[in-house]
Amino acid sequence: MKQCVIFDMDGVISHTNPHHVKAFEVFFDKYKISYTNEEFEEHMYGKHNSYIMSHFFKRPIAGEELIKLEDEKEATFREIYKDKVETIPGYLGFLSELKSRDFKTAVATSAPRANLDLIINALKIADKMDSMMSSEDVTFHKPNPEVYLESAKRVGVSPSDCVVFEDSFSGVTAGLNAGMKVVGVLSTHTKEYLPPCDFYINDYSEINVDKIIEILKS
């Protein structure tokens, strides 16, 4: 029986959120948009850019304008982050263990493809992923389960045989909505902030493949 582990990217593979905050600060300062750390906590982490831009600009941002603003902000992020790419502790060892135990593995992120490429290539793990999906690959963003259901379909595994790793409220909700088991990664939020998950970790020293198999059976 095939089983799969699907990883969100920001806050799950890499702790990018502090760098996204920096990029948004540069971007908002340019456009003279006000923001607070509390607002970032509530309206940025795990959210898609169309939501973030509309919230902070206080008006709907869509279509061509969204594409232009999103490209600008994400280019700023990549510039800030490109020489700092690293994983949450223990991730590469855990990924290798999954592959050695014949698990399918996938990435399902709300980030643009260029961000996905930057991180996956810097970490040299493209050959370890059976599917990689970014914001360009879906119609509906998390908490809609589309990206997780489509990832399962691509790797040929039933949703009930998948475990999702997520760090945000919308991401955990998407995994649960897909009928999958969810491990909450506490890189960005406390467990009180997230919907109830099947298990929680601070980093990947706290989990192994046997635990994944146990979670799938529960």
Tens digits of residue pLDDT in 1-44: 899 999 999 999 999 999 999 999 999 999 999 999 899 888 98
The CATH T-level fold of domain 17-81 is DNA polymerase; domain 1 (1.10.150)
Contact 122, 110 (CB under 8 A): no
pLDDT, tens digit, for every residue of 175-211?
999 999 999 999 989 999 999 999 999 999 999 999 9
Q: Could you give the CA distance from residue 200 to residue 32 in angstroms, rounded to a whole number? A: 38
In the chain, domain spans = 4-15+86-217, 17-81
Q: Was domain 4-15+86-217 assigned CATH 3.40.50.1370?
A: no
- Per-residue confidence band for 46, with pLDDT thresholds at 50, 70 and 90: confident
pLDDT of 88-110, one tens digit each? 999 999 999 999 999 999 999 99
Between CA 27 and CA 17 the distance in angstroms is: 15
Matching fold, domains 4-15+86-217 and 17-81: no
Only one residue has tokens 């994400």, namely 74
